[in-house]
Amino acid sequence: MQFNLDPRSQIPIWEQIVNQMKEMIMKGIFLENEKIPSVRELSSLLIINPNTVSKAYQELERQGIIETIRGRGTFVAERAPVENIDKQQVEKIREALKRLIVEASYLGVEAQQFIELVEEVLKEIGGNADA
């Protein structure tokens, strides 16, 4: 488990935690039903306020990615197979992707290089995707 938080980033710390936790779960660093650190543990580990961790955990729970069992702790939820892909959400991804590609292009990253970047990241994350 390795968090990489940047307090200067535009992305709120709680959201960075959400993103990185999702990534770690995808990579298999946390397994289904495994206990994750308590709010207090993680906040003292990351030297941030417990409320910030709490907000991240609540968001993860809302997304169905973790589950809280009262008085016991917080656990990685079992991942339900996606039934219907939410087209509206995918459209948002598409828009964000477009922005990213435009950015990349201005940096001098051509189409082919961008695809290579995508494949690289897919490989990095995919590690335990089918676990």
Partner DNA sequence: GTGGTCTAGACCACA
Interacting residue ranges for DNA, rule: CB under 7 A? 7, 12-15, 38-41, 48-52, 54-55, 57-58, 61, 68, 70-74
Q: And the tokens for 89?
A: 């959400």
Binding residue for its own copies, selected from 1, 28, 63, 127, defined by CB under 8 A: 63
Closest approach, Cβ 76 to DNA, in A, equals: 12
Q: Which does 78 bind (CB under 5 to 8 A by kind): DNA, its own copies, none?
A: none
| Burial track 49-65 (b if 16+ CB lie within 10 A, e otherwise) | eeebbebbbebbeeeeb
Minimum gap (Å) between residue 104 Cβ and DNA: 21
32/36 Cα distance (integer angstroms): 10
